[in-house]
Amino acid sequence: MTSSPPLPVKPAAPTVRSSLAHAVRGALIGIVELVPGVSGGTVALVLGIFDRLITSANHLIRGVVRLAFKRGGQGVSHHLGGVEWSLVIPLLVGMFFALFALSGPLHAFVEGEPTLSSALFLGMVSASLLVPISMAREAGPVTRRTLIAGPLVVLAVAGAAFWLLGLPSMQVEDPAWWVLVLSGAAAVCALALPGLSGSFILLTFGMYEPTLEAVSERDFGYLALFASGAVLGLASIVQLLAYLLRVHRRAVLLVATGLILGSLRALWPWQDNGTLLPPDGDWLGPLLAALGGATVVLLLWLRERRGIAAAASL
């Protein structure tokens, strides 16, 4: 008999300080969504808001669907009332601000300092592995079966992700409207699935440069088609993920761990067209950048753990 997953801690009443903090969290998610190999879902895990975001998104989607097709007033009120608006609204504001205001400078940093930026993100993503691992351990009792099956699932998923990320990327010129819709649907999975990088998905299918250019140049026609696909993709993946987190929480977290582990291939600082190379002579700077990135993530994780523990003790 397995125990139920721990119930999420009831959020405190919103304040100006908490709203600003959520806006900063949204900005962090927006920033990493611009970087190939780094997942916004992973950042949400590290920041301790992953479950709350999935729950709120699931309620929002169900409420909108009921309003549009079922005309059920009571059901609409129930689902929209289940959305944690004090988290979602400032988070979205911060995320879109970062996407539009920082896309240019961040792209310049990634393009101008590819080795240093990759090392920085490698350290951050490596340290973030602690988050799904600790959550999986807390998802239920540890048995002999889970001790054997858990690492096997992680290694199998990591191996598949490692192989897929080694495939050569393409470049699409003047994409058709349906390509933009499908690209948005695929890329938005990274917001819901830790370990999947929306930017790397776009890079693999040759849509990263056109999309980043559209964001930088405010091409709203392009962005509208991309966003419509993102809405469709998010509506389907969020409901599935919300169900799996309720019924198979540990399995989802183990898969997330494998995806994050396998995604490290995309962030190895020394590679050429997907071929991994040994470090060159100038390795001290990238090493310090990786250690710095890992330290930032560990500090954020420890801070969130202390906050959750303090809230649960009240």
Report pLDDT digits (tens) over 158-183.
998 888 777 766 556 677 878 888 88
The per-residue pLDDT for 5 is 46
Q: Tally the C-alpha atoms within 13 A of residue 130's C-alpha that lie toward its C-beta.
A: 17
| DSSP-based three-state secondary structure for 272 | strand
Alpha-carbon span 62 to 32, nearest angstrom: 28
Contact status, residue 191 vs residue 33, Cβ threshold 8 Å: yes
β-pair type (271-272, 275-276):
antiparallel
Among the listed ranges 69-73, 179-183, 188-192, 243-247, which one has the minimum average pLDDT value? Answer: 69-73
- C-beta atoms surrounding 243 within 10 Å: 12
* Residue 207 located in a structural domain: yes
Domain membership of residue 48 as a residue range: 16-270+283-312
**φ and ψ at 25, to 5 degrees?**
-60, -40
The per-residue pLDDT for 153 is 92
* Residue 276 located in a structural domain: no
* Residue 8 located in a structural domain: no
**For 276, which DSSP code?**
E
Contact status, residue 141 vs residue 2, Cβ threshold 8 Å: yes
- pLDDT surpassing 60 at residue 9: no
The per-residue pLDDT for 248 is 87
Give pLDDT tens digits for 117-136.
889 888 888 888 888 888 88
Alpha-carbon span 28 to 236, nearest angstrom: 24
* Residue 65 located in a structural domain: yes
- pLDDT surpassing 60 at residue 72: no
Looking at the 3D structure of the chain, how many domains does it have? 1
- pLDDT surpassing 60 at residue 237: yes
* Residue 277 located in a structural domain: no
The per-residue pLDDT for 155 is 94
Name the residue with tokens 């801690």: 9
* Residue 163 located in a structural domain: yes
- Side chain identity, residue 292: G
The per-residue pLDDT for 4 is 44
Nearest to 180 by CA among 201, 144, 207: 207
* Residue 64 located in a structural domain: yes
Which contacts qualify for 170-179: CB closer than 8 Å, 24 or more apart? Answer: 170/204, 170/205, 170/206, 171/206, 171/209, 172/205, 172/206, 172/207, 172/210, 175/207, 175/210, 177/225, 179/207
